[in-house]
Structure 1
């Protein structure tokens, strides 16, 4: 599921080109880490954001991102994005929504593309945050499209055909966050919403 989500959002929705600039929010998650590696294999400039310095180092040192930053340490997200994308963003892989999306809209290039895979900052809120910079979709002719991976299962063979050779050659790596024991599942699930996971969180019910 994370692999196919990354493939569909990046390749099918965003139609990436070599040399383009790519930004991924919550980039150390199960989907984001793969989007970044796909983009690097294509020859893109890739920046990811994450919620801890440990994850930032993982993005740069293990997954090969060009740059990464801890969004929790940035008082001004617009300024942070301008620091890493002085000429703007071609492709944004959206996983957060809210203030992050608002800042990204200010920094998109003309005819940029946004794949909306998730909006984690808006989950479980009684009142969702409003987006103030949507006019940029029109002024910059940005295309933003949401998707559910369940609508793209027919592309799974194509995904495997693309990804398996890179895995066999060691060009794509993957990190899972494994939690032992069914009794720890509730806490592990809650931890997802506060960014405790690194990569896809997996509950191991039994090793037998």
Structure 2
């Protein structure tokens, strides 16, 4: 299964190939192209899924499902029509939305067990970094789904508004509106904790 990464990732010409070219090679039976493309995409999609879901196990499931769908449509992929990452961001967001709606019907998932804190020098700084990440993730989780997706794509994934518009299948103006409203909501949610979290 392409999702299972192989330890001997290839170097050389495939490293320079685009995601789209690697997908076409995979569709033509190139296993090394599948390994290289998986190694590129898993961290990106996993991070995006986690930001949308706030749960690592669910993010892993969504990542695997999104990639399985990519491998399935690979033989029909037409280069030049869309970027692989644009397609995957859209599929990942849809899968995450389905899970979030399922949560509302069945109740929240069990909380993940926190990792033990290493009581070594610098612990305070690490605790504050963790607190900031948890506060941001919590505030993101309280945003409406579309605002959260737009904010994550723009300010965490670093994508430009036109690409976000393509991923979300809305206008650039709608993206700008979602981001502005999402940022205002985040600012309100975190504003009272600036000193606690060491924010400027």
Q: Larger Cα Rg: Structure 1 or Structure 2? A: 2
**Is the helix fraction higher in 1 or 2?**
2
- How does the TM-score come out when normalised to structure 1? 0.24
TM-score, normalization by structure 2: 0.25
Bigger strand fraction? 1
